[in-house]
Amino acid sequence: QKEEWAKLKDEPTFSQDGVQVELVANIGTPDDITGVINNGGEGVGLYRTEFLYMGKNELPTEDEQYDAYKSVLEQMKDKPVVVRTLDVGGDKELNYLDLPKELNPFLGFRAIRFCLENEHVFRPQLRALLRASIYGNLKIMFPMIATLEEFRQAKSILMEEKDNLRSEGVEVSDSIEVGIMVEIPSTAVTAKQFAKEVDFFSIGTNDLIQYTMAADRMNERVSYLYQPYHPAILNLVNNVIEAAHSENKWAGMCGEMAGDSIAIPILLGLGLDEFSMSATSILPARTQIRSLSKEKLAAAKDKILSMSTADEVVEYINSME
């Protein structure tokens, strides 16, 4: 099996009936790129930049960040690299930032909420990204977007920094896509409105599932409710993909679900364009997708979306193989 996977390393990803999707990787540091390339990744679908900020006693400087982003972009050549801006809070703490102790950290002051109120943290990251943008195919993504105003505000700060850099004589790419993570149900439900303004969506199912099912992703006692195949989740995912396509935008997924062999046929049938997963899942996923008929799975879409339970969905998917 390993040999079969190796042969697919430099191949694009097609379903049995010839529909192309993109298989990209989740990374945490520039050092992860070797693994992405060795495992046949067609790009980076989620660069979790938190690691630059963790395990130290102060904020990373703009130049430190620039070096990291430039390194990732250069190593990936012209392949897409989706960088997520800082997503601290929730499960990710930073002692030097003095974040408040909260009763419900997952529902609290984190990610884009924190960045919009702390521009001295947000702007240097955006500047570092913009400066690095000329070295590859950069896409910028904001985490934990709950409202359109948040996206507009984040994007306008980004555009301001772009103008600032240009007036300082610094070159910035003209073709940076700006998108959002869809990991909050309000955004999944109103994806149609977002789709007019964002360049792409990346569905963060790790959080989307916990918020939709009201089941903490770290709490064992309620893990039985953490159900990726629950029809509620699948309907939200479908809504996001349909909204993206109605505006000629693309929809990806960067939660764990994107690399899951039961979810992959469902997601292919729903029309997901980009699957971002840990690098080691890419070749198995490519092998699986080559054996799947997108048309057949798409024909089962309404049936799957109207099912009542996750078990019913899983049973049906298993019966299709």
Q: Which of 136, 185, 204, 228 binds Mg ion (CB under 5 A)?
A: 204
The stretch near ligand PEP (CB under 6 A) out of 171-179, 189-197, 198-206, 310-318 is: 198-206
Report the residue from 59, 254, 264, 317 that binds ligand PEP according to the rule CB under 6 A: 254
Tell which positions 83-112 bind ligand PEP, by CB under 6 A. Answer: 87
How many residues comprise the chain? 321
The DSSP string of 43-92 is SEEEEETHHHHSSSSSPPPHHHHHHHHHHHHHHTTTSEEEEEPP--BTTB
Phi, psi of 84 (to 5 degrees): -95, 130
**Near ligand PEP by CB under 6 A: residue from 22, 161, 207, 216:** 207
Task: Report the distance separating Cα 306 and Cα 35, nearest Å.
Answer: 39
SS3 assignment, position 278:
coil
Phi, psi of 112 (to 5 degrees): -65, -30
Single-letter residue type at 239: N
Sign, CA torsion 213/214/218/220:
negative
Instruction: Residue 205: name its binding partner from ligand PEP, Mg ion, none (Cβ under 5 to 8 Å by kind).
Output: ligand PEP
Identify the burial level of 182 via C-beta atoms within 10 angstroms of its C-beta, where 0-12 means exposed, 13-18 middle and 19 or more buried: buried
Residue 151-190 contact track with ligand PEP, rule CB under 6 A, x = bound: --------------------------------x-------
Q: How many residues bind Mg ion (CB under 5 A)?
A: 3
Q: 255 is in the binding site of which of ligand PEP, Mg ion, none (Cβ under 5 to 8 A by kind)? A: ligand PEP
Question: Is there binding between residue 40 and Mg ion (CB under 5 A)?
Answer: no
Amino acid occupying residue 56: K
Residue 32 vs 207, nearer CB to Mg ion? 207
- Candidates 255, 265, 271, 284; binder of ligand PEP (CB under 6 A) is 255
The nearer residue to ligand PEP, 147 or 164, going by C-beta atoms, is: 147
Q: Is 48 in the site for ligand PEP (CB under 6 A)?
A: yes
Q: State how far the Cα of 132 lies from the Cα of 78, in Å rounded to an integer.
A: 13
Q: Does 256 bind Mg ion (CB under 5 A)?
A: no
In the complex, minimum distance from the CB of residue 192 to ligand PEP, in angstroms, rounded to a whole number: 21
Q: Which of 42, 199, 207, 260 binds Mg ion (CB under 5 A)?
A: 207
The pair phi, psi for residue 78, each rounded to 5°, is: -90, 5
CB 27 within 8 A of CB 46: yes
Q: Which stretch binds Mg ion (CB under 5 A): 49-57, 196-204, 218-226, 294-302?
A: 196-204
Contacts with ligand PEP, residue ranges (CB under 6 A)? 46, 48, 87, 183, 204-207, 254-255
